Amino acid sequence: MNVETNDRESMNMDAAREYLQRYYGYPDFREGQKKIVDSLLHGRDTLGIMPTGGGKSICYQIPALMHPGLTLVISPLISLMKDQVDALTTAGINAAYINSTLSGKEVNERIRAAKRGDLKLLYVAPERLELDWFREEMASLDISIVAVDEAHCVSQWGHDFRTSYLSVAPFVAELPGRPIVAAFTATATPEVMEDMQRLLRLDDPQVFVTGLGRDNLEMSVLRGENKREFVLNYAASHTHQPGIIYAATRKEVDDLCQRLQAHGLLAGRYHAGMSDAERAESQEAFLYDDIRVIVATNAFGMGIDKSNVRYVIHYNMPKNMESYVQEAGRAGRDGEPSQCILLFSAQDIMTQKFLIEQNPQDSERKHNEYRKLQQMIDYCYTTRCLRSAMLDYFGEEHDDKPCGTCSSCTDDRELIDITVDAQKIFSCIHRMRERFGVSMVAAVLKGSRAKKVLEYGFDRLPTYGVMSNRTEKEISETINVLISEGYLALTEGQYPVVKLQSGAAEVLKGQREVMQRVPRPARTAGSTRSASRRDSSPSAVNETVFEQLRLIRRELASKEHVPSYIIFNDATLREMSVVCPQTEDEMLQVKGVGEVKFRKYGRPFLEFFQNGPGVTAESDDLYDYE
């Protein structure tokens, strides 16, 4: 289907909303989307920082439909391109991708289609921009917008630096007429944001940072859990929901997957040690809901757009906040309530340090990796609202109101005064001249007879053994909490040293109290207080009807050879189950339907409601909708 383009004079938000309703089935943009779309419609270079699942693609796809010419999308992963193009063509928008999976003949056919004006969006990998012949072909096209997805990859201070992204700016400069440049990412610190603007050579860009804290995600950090038991119990009690479990190493991925399968769960795995065919098979099985849970390293998930992932569990602490937010953000992309659970143990720190040391990189970048790792550790120990801590890390302005749903906010343990313990710790660090790490400080406070403690003469310090009633692990945990709360700081590097901060001096002088919650009481592994609250669906949703709608969707998806969420996502089906539309107009009012999708897929769902919920088809007649 060809999409007619409007003249610049008619490129306003009212027209953009019409496109949004017609092709995507939504009556209006989210607040963050609206500003970005308006900026691009007015021809401004634009940088958008939006959370995973925040609708970044719509921000450039709608302007692509409205501007004359072609929008070239720089996308880093083959599977991500395919998902995007599948979704666009399903919605009736002409789009294509060019990547290494195509033959030379297929590539030439798609370039010819672009030259004829048959395409509105063309997706390519950044490496393609380094090829002379490809740049020459692109110079002959009428390119109105260059959209750079995962734009943080251009910065060496980001978490996924990719040198090919440095080719974007020279490529744009070579084009006969400079297009609008739009850059998007889900996570970026102020330092990385500055890099993106400079290295992509954005021209006086409009910059929008939008709601990284998604209300539908319930964040939890759990310490001291039996991780393996937790994961097995949680997955077993959520077999009806798709989930991702991230682990730090291939060995852990394989082990967890085998254990889940041994418990009769539909589980798969994904890591770089598998063949391309094995990884593709696992990813497709997860996309099509043939397996419910996938255990993976961080290599998995960036290239998929599966909207109905209901939980993401991190079996190990990730290496930095950027990775964590991107991975956790793969839950609940459809806006439905979802769980993000991080299982933390001190061993995770050693694992991540080992991985940093194994990765060949210059000393400056390694130094940066250690700094980011410490910030991730601080997040795992903080008693603050997790959403506020995350937003502060990325420099997003927000009010100080707690989210009320994260594990910190719902922690109802009793607060106790640990000022005296804090004073003992601070005094010990001072007497050790702030030259040692957490483990050595804890050993001195415990009264350890370890060789190094005695060699340095720390057994003669007044603070030696003043916390002998506590284990070294407990003392280390308290020190790490004090670090996360800003009383202490760690130097950067593989062997960080504990340093006193101004707040510690106030505590030592008796000018400030330090509070901490008592140890969490034992509870059943595989559940959280919040999980039971969030797992319940809105009362208005008829779960029986919802499951019947999913069966219809699955049958359609099978016929179309696309993942189920490409047809309609879970949020759309849930709204249908509440509204129970009886007419085409009522069906079109359901968010996520849209005119094009209704013509292609809507009839079976409408007939289901017209026949009365609970009536299922006994034959293929229901799906004979052409």
The answer to whether residues 204 and 222 belong to one domain is: no
Domain holding 599, by residue range, is: 543-623
**Domain-ending residue, one of 336, 358, 393:** 393
Tell me the Ramachandran region of residue 440: left when phi exceeds 0, alpha when psi lies from -120 to 50, beta otherwise. Answer: alpha
pLDDT (0 to 100) of residue 357: 84
Query: Tens digits of per-residue pLDDT, 157-172?
Result: 766 788 899 999 999 9
- Select the more confidently predicted residue: 4 or 515: 515
The answer to whether residues 319 and 426 belong to one domain is: no
Tally of structural domains, the chain: 4
The answer to whether residues 69 and 162 belong to one domain is: yes
The answer to whether residues 577 and 509 belong to one domain is: no
pLDDT at 452 over 90: yes
The mean pLDDT value of the chain amounts to: 85
Distance separating alpha carbons of residues 60 and 67, to the nearest angstrom: 10
The answer to whether residues 506 and 608 belong to one domain is: no
Calculate helix-pair angle for 56-66, 31-41, nearest 10 degrees. Answer: 30
Segment 483-510 shows an average pLDDT of: 87
Calculate helix-pair angle for 438-446, 472-484, nearest 10 degrees. Answer: 130
CATH of the domain at 485: 1.10.10.10
pLDDT (0 to 100) of residue 13: 87
pLDDT band at 304 (very low <50, low <70, confident <90, very high): low
- Quick one: which of 350, 281, 138, 87 has its CA closest to 294? 281
Distance separating alpha carbons of residues 595 and 25, to the nearest angstrom: 7
The answer to whether residues 156 and 233 belong to one domain is: no
Q: Which residue has the tokens 């110079």?
A: 139
605 within 8 A of 611, measured Cβ to Cβ: no
CA dihedral 313, 319, 322, 328 (to 10 degrees): 0
**Domain-ending residue, one of 209, 236, 251:** 209
pLDDT at 14 over 50: yes
pLDDT band at 521 (very low <50, low <70, confident <90, very high): very low
pTM of the full structure: 0.70
| Within-domain flag for 530 | no
pLDDT at 533 over 60: no
pLDDT band at 131 (very low <50, low <70, confident <90, very high): very high
Distance separating alpha carbons of residues 437 and 480, to the nearest angstrom: 11
The answer to whether residues 282 and 200 belong to one domain is: no
pLDDT (0 to 100) of residue 283: 86
CATH of the domain at 32: 3.40.50.300
pLDDT at 285 over 50: yes
The answer to whether residues 70 and 122 belong to one domain is: yes
Distance separating alpha carbons of residues 224 and 214, to the nearest angstrom: 27
**Domain-ending residue, one of 175, 209, 243:** 209
The answer to whether residues 510 and 554 belong to one domain is: no
**Percentage of the chain with pLDDT > 70?**
91
Tell whether the torsion through CA atoms of 122, 123, 129 and 134 is positive or negative. Answer: negative
pLDDT (0 to 100) of residue 560: 83
pLDDT (0 to 100) of residue 8: 45
Q: Which residue has the tokens 């919802």?
A: 546
pLDDT (0 to 100) of residue 127: 92
331 within 8 A of 311, measured Cβ to Cβ: yes
The answer to whether residues 257 and 368 belong to one domain is: yes
pLDDT (0 to 100) of residue 301: 61
pLDDT at 147 over 90: yes
Contacts of 345 (CB under 8 A, 6+ apart): 223, 224, 227
pLDDT band at 299 (very low <50, low <70, confident <90, very high): low
Distance separating alpha carbons of residues 335 and 325, to the nearest angstrom: 16
Tokens of 77: 């992963």
Query: Which of 197-206, 516-525, 590-599, 606-615 is predicted least confidently?
Result: 516-525
Query: Tens digits of per-residue pLDDT, 354-383?
Result: 888 887 777 778 888 888 898 999 899 888
Segment 468-485 shows an average pLDDT of: 90
| Within-domain flag for 15 | yes
Contacts of 570 (CB under 8 A, 6+ apart): 307, 308, 334, 336, 550
pLDDT at 431 over 80: yes
In one-letter notation, the amino acid at residue 603 is R
Query: Tens digits of per-residue pLDDT, 207-229?
Result: 998 767 788 899 999 987 889 99
